[in-house]
Amino acid sequence: MKFFSHAFLAGLFLVLGGCASMGPNEQTTTSPSSEAPSVADTQPYSPPAQPSRKPEYPAGDLTPIAPHEAAPRTVAAMTPPADLWERIRRGFAMPDLQSNLVPGREQWYAARPQDLENMAERSRKYLFHIVEELERRGLPTELALLPFIESAFNPQAYSRARAAGMWQFIPSTGKLYQLKQNAFRDDRRDVLASTRAALDYLERLHGMFGDWHLALASYNWGEGSVGRAIAKNRRQGKGTGYLDLNMPMETRYYIPKLQAMKNIVANPGAFRIQLPVIDNHPYFDTVTITRDIDVALAAKLAEVPLADFKALNPSLHRPVILAAGTPQILLPWDNAAIFQRNLDAYAGDRLSSWTVWIAPSTMKTADAAKRLKMSEADLRYANDIPTHMIIRAGSTLLVPRPASQERDVTVRIADNGQLALVPETVLRRVVLKAGKKDSVATVARRYGLAPAKVAEWNNVGTSASFKPGQQIVIHRWVPVRSNIGTPLPSATKAAVRTPTRVANR
């Protein structure tokens, strides 16, 4: 509508005035320059060429304006930041930790700019996805920096506590958050699955404690430990905040490290740090696969270096991708379409040169290789089997795929296959009786041991002699034939050469 009449305006104001009536003691207030609108005759409205002033109206009134009054207004631009670091800064929402441990961590990082730059470069592949997930859940973007503290953004990181991946899940917590760990993949290292699980866990911890510092302490130390520390302080009438609790040294430094990293990202120039530019754009795309395919072939079809392919798909620890268990792979953004085009044009007979064989009985690796008509070295390499290990019955092993086999590995095997190993030999403590003229040197020579070790085990010098009948302690690698065919409480690589305290008499 381009024109209004004075009569129309008068009727509109009468209606609006009736909708918001005032009490007898209420009055309107206006700015010094405002004046009430005038209601004149019913002659057609002719706007002046240059009005001397614009009428103002009380707040809440709906006032039509003439076309000439509609002037462009400045609107704050809401364009997304081009740099991912700036996007992270905008999402900071945790209270800063006021601790005297923070400056020391800042100085430690600032004194190692090359290490910091290397970590930031590694994060380039994963950081955008993490920030996207945090924003989708409405979580503080400080959490995107947590893998710097956990693993230096290395998805292949593995700790002494058997924690794996850039979010460092131990096996039990990984299973609790549906991270598959089997003979063919370890989802604790998977970029998508581990990020989902980590944020699920952090959200749950924040819901338990209502405090991000306590939630992060629980992520590092365990919610049970933090809960007991809080209960202990409460009984003693002490504070129950993060800084009030008595914690292990690792946990005490854990959040100061994160705060230091936050401070550096917030203002890198203050620490003379130059963060590499990371574009605010997805680094990878998700590609669906429907057939088993060799890892090397997948990288070739995607025209991606094998190392880069493995960095985006770190959960795969075998030379083949089983589609039934890993139906999606990650590829650099521009290479996803290249992979699909090359896959459609691929003229090879098959995509996978591997299949799965289930060990019918407990056997040595050499015996299994002979039965499969392959070299022992190839069998060990394909299945990552250490030396001095025996394959237990029921283990699923990757073996060459016969030319006649067309079917891919089934979902049941791809999702649940396990490789169970038992040491072929173990280091046992053996107690001997010294004979005439026995010494550290003669015992060491007899059993092929280092004299220094024999002396250490018996708390004597390397030139010491033993009295006849005296007990001598040595440690020897001995076969564990008695273990073959018996169930193991835990079949993992951690069992390799595990020392025991059982003495042979």
Positions annotated as catalytic residues are: 150
Token pair recorded at residue 1: 């509508």
CA angle in degrees (0–180, nearest 5) for 395-173-491? 25
Within 8 A by CB and 6+ apart from 154, the residues are: 122, 166
Measured at the alpha carbon of residue 305, what is the angle toward residues 147 and 274, in degrees to the nearest 5? 45
Cα maximum dimension of the chain: 134
CA–CA gap between residue 95 and residue 216 (Å, rounded)? 13
Take residue 171 and report the two structure tokens written for it.
């096996």
Sign, CA dihedral 316-320-321-322, equals: negative
Question: Residue 53, class by beta-carbon neighbours within 10 Å (0-12 exposed, 13-18 middle, 19+ buried)?
Answer: exposed
Per the listing, tokens 């030396």 go with 387
396 Cβ partners below 8 Å, 6+ apart? 183, 356, 357, 358, 359, 413, 417, 418, 419
